[in-house]
Structure 1
């Protein structure tokens, strides 16, 4: 199964864009974490990095697991592989955040525990990745983990997504994709802040299905030759969507970018195939899920060490970015990668193949 190197690198930019939202944009009553002297709609729309993840996830999983590829795998094998992929890093970051929040609350007497974001019932749901199994809602102990919970829903229901997506007929595939964009447009115009809905499935379901449909369309257009500049044109569509605050238009551009980059012939694909970008793309999940921990301790440390707070905002941002990437690399090599291998060996396809040989 070939690896889509440009799409792996694209995950990095989606993750970093979410960081821009959390660090450089004022929202939910809080000021920006850093003042770098520049304000931009690009920072505001950083939540759309999650939407890009959802579409990309549907595309990659369909390519790897759809039975039409000749790789028939049972659902239990798929679930084990997905748990091995997301759960170890997820649970470690959740536990570290829980300890940090409890410790901070005890030291500062801030009385955060028991609130909407830091309740015992919420922690229970987050432990089992169930907190986002609703239309939308508040954050949590590690609030960025809501999207992982939503992804978990997609994994559990993956056979339903595959069953519902048309095959081989490009008109039906495009019609179904149009319906998904219509659903997103309705969500956007009826929500108070476009597609900036955390904590639920409202964005996940139509966007993950879009990814499934994109993969089905790629199988029909396997010899498509109009891709050489398609990713750059799709990037322009994304930029227009950001400038016009039209989130659904951005998702349309992101879908076009993912499809065109998957062929590996686009001009942008060569840039995104650089080894360093691919490596950082491989750890992008760790960058995303660990981000609140360095941010949490950085904010606390900045309040205790004035010389850090006196540094220029851009320098502070670069410092925290370096710490976050270092933490992500550590998480990748000490938790994500070894635990993924161990779980697959113990419970996944590798163990079943060994058992079959032994029998």
Structure 2
């Protein structure tokens, strides 16, 4: 999960050449992340609510596919930021890995430690959380971001973190993705077609293992879920370089693609169709930014929400677990009880506030500290 502004942030002075080739920000792609993260939050709230799972709100149930859109976004934004470096021979994989580690790991570590403390306290208070099979082995798998790399079902210490494991695998192998999709003269349509083929192969493998489509992969072999989407994003970014729509056309394309995406979710079409439709949505938003038609999506509040979306994504389940265990202790009930609508109405603003605080007080300072420790002074573009 990567924000464009953060991917471009520097830890040292940029050379004139770097400044000249620094990519322009795509504000719409940053702001939309809040909507995607909020959809995942509402999905998890719905699963835990009194409303039976058998009759969920379709749009919210399919909001979990926001993770797949995040994967496409990651490929798109990283290609946007690092593509020029690769094509000009300035790319350093070490600097890239330091940047990605500094971006994703501090918040992940904070939430993992928090969940470990919750488990310890639950043991002391004899709450069910501690007896749910949470193992130390799985905690360390989460710590090293490898929990989604194998066809097993590890305990989810912080459920959403499986996608970080998949992202980390993509980061480690980024030179391979770059070779396939970011070489000079590469036809972006071929990259998009190859992405579809990779997605189909990953889907076939996962269906052989689990009997479900690959969009259901998470902590169990969730790494299969990212290669196709990530490459899809890279191909779309390269395709975007050939497009120069007028602002009105870009906005119209965004509205049409968003409508198609939402319709596929509402009518619960095959999830693979929804993933395919997410591509034009991401592409059209990038065109909205490039044409200068960001509008409200470039507002500082929208950008802050987008920047804090990663913290929201990782913090919402710990907040939910702590809330349910606290209520269980206070009322003498079981922490597996289902939430009321009133509780959700209270939990949501608490979670949003916690996400902004986490982003402001921990994520940003920790990222800057890691960059300062591990990045060379001359490194600028792409060190976050």
TM-score over 0.5 for the pair: yes
1:237-259, Cα deviation, whole Å (9 max, x unpaired)? 21232113311111122111111
Deviation at 1:184, TM superposition (A): 6.3
User: Alpha-carbon deviations, 1:182-209, whole Å to 9, x = none?
Assistant: 4466478765554222112121111111
Q: CA deviation at 1:289?
A: 0.8
CA offsets 1:141-160 (integer angstroms, 9 cap, x no match): 11211111111111111111
Residue 364 of structure 2 corresponds to residue 337 of structure 1 = yes
Q: Which runs of 5+ in 2 are unaligned?
A: 1-22
**Aligned-pair distance for 1:227?**
2.9
TM-score w.r.t. length of structure 1: 0.85
CA deviation string 1:21-66 (max 9, x = no partner): 11113xxxxxx33559994111221220111111101111111112
* 1:357 aligned partner: none
CA distance in 2, matches of 1:138, 1:227: 43
Q: Are the counterparts in 1 of residues 192 and 231 from structure 2 also a CA contact under 8 Å?
A: no
Aligned to 1:201, the other structure's residue is in SS state helix
- Give the stretch that moved more between structures: 238-247 or 339-348: 238-247
1:223 aligns with 2:241: no
- Find the counterpart in structure 2 of residue 323 from structure 1: 350
Report if aligned partners of 1:228, 1:267 keep a CA contact under 8 Å in 2: no
Which structure is richer in relative contact order (CA contacts within 8 A, separation 6 or more)?
2
In 1, Cα distance between the equivalents of 2:252 and 2:202? 26
Cα 1:348/1:91, change in 2 over 3 Å: same
What is the deviation of 1:316?
1.9
Secondary structure in structure 1 of the residue aligned to 2:269 = coil
**C-alpha distance in structure 1 between counterparts of 2:75 and 2:100, whole Å:** 13
Distance 2:374 2:218 in 1: 32
* 1:104 partnered with 2:125: no
Q: CA deviation at 1:173?
A: 3.0
CA contact (8 A) 2:127 2:325 kept: no
Question: For the Cα contact (< 8 Å) 2:146–2:165, is it kept in 1?
Answer: yes
Q: Could you tell me how far apart the structure 1 residues matched to 2:227 and 2:155 are? A: 19
The one of 263, 283, 294 aligned to 1:240: 263
Residue equivalent to 1:163 = 179
Given that 1:94 and 1:141 are in contact with CA atoms closer than 8 Å, whether structure 2 keeps it comes out as yes
Shift in Å, 1:340? 0.6
Partner of 1:301: 326
Residue 173 (structure 1) aligned to one of 191, 200, 207? 191
Distance 1:187 1:16, change over 3 A: farther
The question of whether the paired residues in 1 share the 8 Å contact of 2:135 and 2:155 is answered with: no
1:28 aligns with none
* Change in CA separation of 1:188 and 1:120 when aligned onto 2, cut-off 3 Å: closer
Runs (5+) with no aligned partner, structure 1:
26-31, 355-359
Any idea what SS the aligned residue of 2:49 has?
coil
- Flag the 1:136–1:64 CA change in 2: closer, same or farther, 3 A: farther
Of stretches 63-72 and 14-23 in structure 1, the one that deviates more from structure 2 is: 63-72
Aligned residue for 2:33?
A: 11
Task: State the alpha-carbon separation in 1 of the partners of residues 129 and 342 from structure 2.
Answer: 32
* TM-score, structure 2 as length reference: 0.80
Find the counterpart in structure 2 of residue 126 from structure 1.
Answer: 142
